[in-house]
Chains A and B, each alone.
Chain A
Amino acid sequence: MTFPALTPSSRSFDPGNYPVKAYNAQDGAEIRFLYGDKRVAAKLQLTYTNITDANAEEFIDHFDDMNGTFELFDLPTGKDALGGWSEETATLDAPEGSKWRYAQPPQLNSVYPGVSSVTVNLISATSA
């Protein structure tokens, strides 16, 4: 099962950072070590407001298919999850060489009979 092909109502993207470790000497000097050449731990929060219960259920089903926060997956090709972004979709996607996984279970709020809102939090990760 692929990630639901729906355009969110709002989206928040954190590009993550390169694996940097900083050390401070006693005189205040900072020394930084770069441990990799790719960004890690990008975060993507997708909010789907007032969607049908059937669509909301797709997120729970996909979460089950991914064994919760365990499996990695790609967002569907096209611009569904990244819809409304007018530049390269790769900019908002998981960094090169990594995929998404659930950072936490999807949050589903029932707002009206047959209507729900869902918030999904994803974090990028690379298979070992």
Chain B
Amino acid sequence: MTFYSGQNGRLQIDGTTAAKVTNWSISSSMSPLATTTLEDTDETFVNGIRSTTGSCRLFYYDDTSDTERINSAKTLIDKLIKVRTEGSEPGVAAAPEDVTFRLQVVEGDTTREIEVDALITSASMAMAVGEVLAADIAFQVNGAPSTVSL
């Protein structure tokens, strides 16, 4: 019997392994459609629309000597936060970018994963005394996962 913990976790962003990820989570839900009619005494349902959201937290980390370990927090923040297209036009900037996440559980040569195309819905950072700077990212999965091999 095998249990998994944080050391088995890995996150890939657009095919590249993210650096300094402290956690990731994914949650899928479904809104049932009520089919209860006037003669029923108990509610009945059929399957409805699914929705999947997720989040991750990454330390803001920069090591230019390691080409494999880029600043992944910056990568995700840059997908949502865009500078003005022109300095004189405060209301115009580039559109946010989609991202492909692979949320993985790694054990030796075996990798279990969920691959999703997602839209970054929030990216936040907070600097505080006594804490390492990190980015909290939330995302909305666009459609069904393209890979599920858990």
Contacts and interface: CB of A to CB of B under 8 A. Distances in A.
Contact of B39 (A51, A84, A111, A112): A84
A11 interface: yes
Chain A: interface residue count, which band? Answer: 10 to 19
Contacts of B38: 7-11, 83-85
Contact of A50 (B35, B39, B49): B35
A84 B37 contact: yes
Dominant SS among interface residues on chain B: loop
12 contacts: A7-B37, A7-B38, A8-B37, A9-B35, A10-B38, A49-B34, A49-B36, A50-B33, A50-B35, A50-B46, A79-B39, A115-B48
Interface in A87-118: 111-112, 115
B37 A112 contact: no
Contacts of A115: 33, 46, 48
B83 to A, nearest CB: 41
B36 A112 contact: no
Interface string B37-61: 1110000001011000000000000
Q: Give the most central of B33, B37, B39, B48: most A CB within 10 Å.
A: B37
Given A112-B48, A112-B49, A115-B46, A83 B39 contact: yes
Contacts of B36: 9, 49
B93 to A, nearest CB: 36
